[in-house]
Amino acid sequence: MVIFSLEGKVALVTGAAYGIGFAIARALAEAGARIAFNCRSAEHLEKAKADYAALGIPVRGYLCDVTKEDEVARMVADIKAELGPVDILVNNAGIIKRIPMTEMGVDEFREVVDIDLTAPFIMAKAVIPDMIAKGRGKIINVCSMMSELGRETVSAYAAAKGGLKMLTRNIASEYGEYNIQCNGIGPGYIATPQTAPLRERQADGSRHPFDAFIVSKTPAARWGTPEDLMGPAVFLASEASDFVNGHILYVDGGILAYIGKQPK
Ligand code: NAP
Ligand code: GCO
């Protein structure tokens, strides 16, 4: 359907060397968008370029730390020169540190907030002027179950992702009149390198306790895959969502709807 087409659009997906960002970039490309992506590691960048090429997806890859305003400004200017102004921004780059709060250093807390919350602010500031000039734009912030829920050891991440939910709503409020839609995608527990420590087999070959816990908390009774996010991303990047603004679209297999398996 044409309303889901991204033909003629330029999409920038941050942190899309692998994982969720790679799947979202692939989805936007398959819907017709021209893709730019970034990461910090030259090794990740080169491998990602090969991985995109293997799928027949032309991409422009940039080394850029999204927490550095000068690097972001240079990347956005280079994309504008090479592909055109960014029509679709996906703030995907993110990290997590799993440390009990009282044992977490302030620098560690600040690093997580810097990447997961301040960087989406920096990125949005960099692309909104051209979106206003064009009279349209899409910003998609990758939120989390931790935008809604807490759990032990992820205080910085939950604070950042909760803030990202409200930054999403505020961008929607402040720039909606310019036909810019800012929404969030809230993935559930997705099998990527970021969650690999929560799924690794135990020494005795048994499943990680957290693995079994998440499957029990998910009505779909499985971990999500990056591919589960492809359709929702195309929807929020396309004209199909032009009257959706400030919404967090949870793609979680039902976790947020579920109190948990009741005693038999
Ligand atoms: P991942 O596998 O750890 O990938 C993270 C990506 O971000 C990598 O490409 C990494 O590349 C890049 N990155 C990290 N810091 C960066 C920075 N400062 N500047 C530029 N790039 C940076 O993570 P993921 O599981 O795909 O998660 C992607 C996003 O989804 C994150 O925002 C995460 O919080 C969120 N999320 C994940 C899950 C899940 O269950 N996996 C669920 C909900 C939300 P370099 O290291 O080379 O920079
Ligand atoms: C964790 C996980 C989660 C997921 C995701 C859930 O340690 O709890 O890493 O935070 O990454 O954010 O939506």
Q: Which of 62, 157, 175, 250 is catalytic?
A: 157
Q: What is the per-residue pLDDT across 122-181, written as a single tens digit (0 to 9) for each?
A: 999 999 999 999 999 999 999 999 999 999 999 999 999 999 999 999 999 999 999 999
On the question of pLDDT at 264 being above 90, the answer is no
State the ligand closest to the CA atom of 97. 2
Helix (H, G, I), strand (E, B) or coil at 104: coil
Locus of tokens 């579920």: 258
Q: What is the per-residue pLDDT across 61-95, written as a single tens digit (0 to 9) for each?
A: 999 999 999 999 999 999 999 999 999 999 999 99
Top-level CATH class of 2-188+226-254? alpha beta
pLDDT, average across residues 96-101:
98
> How far is residue 208's CA from residue 160's CA, in Å, rounded to a whole number?
26
pLDDT, average across residues 217-233:
97
Q: What is the per-residue pLDDT across 234-243, written as a single tens digit (0 to 9) for each?
A: 999 999 999 9
H/E segment holding residue 91: strand 88-91
Q: What is the per-residue pLDDT across 37-61, written as a single tens digit (0 to 9) for each?
A: 999 999 999 999 999 999 999 999 9
Catalytic site includes residue 258 = no
| pLDDT at site 263 | 86
| pLDDT at site 1 | 74
On the question of pLDDT at 18 being above 80, the answer is yes
Helix (H, G, I), strand (E, B) or coil at 61: strand
Task: Return the residue whose CA atom lies nearest to atom 8 of ligand 1.
Answer: 15
Helix (H, G, I), strand (E, B) or coil at 254: coil
Model confidence at 190, pLDDT cuts 50, 70, 90, reads very high
Given a contact cutoff of 8 angstroms between Cβ atoms, the answer to whether 232 and 249 are in contact is yes
Residues with CB under 6 A from ligand 2: 96, 98, 144-146, 151, 154, 157, 187-189, 194-195, 198
Task: Return the residue whose CA atom lies nearest to atom 32 of ligand 1.
Answer: 94
Max Cα–Cα distance, the chain, nearest Å: 62
Residue 206: which residues within 8 A CB-CB, separation 6 or more?
none
> How far is residue 218's CA from residue 204's CA, in Å, rounded to a whole number?
25
Instruction: Pick the closest to residue 178 from 137, 145, 127, 218 (CA basis).
Output: 137
On the question of pLDDT at 261 being above 90, the answer is no
Predicted TM-score of the model (pTM): 0.98
Percent above pLDDT 70 for the chain: 100
State the ligand closest to the CA atom of 208. 2
Instruction: Put the strands of the sheet holding 248-251 in their side by side order.
Output: 59-63, 34-39, 10-14, 88-91, 137-142, 180-187, 248-251
pLDDT, average across residues 211-225:
96
Percent above pLDDT 90 for the chain: 98
> How far is residue 226's CA from residue 143's CA, in Å, rounded to a whole number?
14
Q: Where are the domains of the chain?
A: 2-188+226-254, 191-223
> How far is residue 136's CA from residue 130's CA, in Å, rounded to a whole number?
9
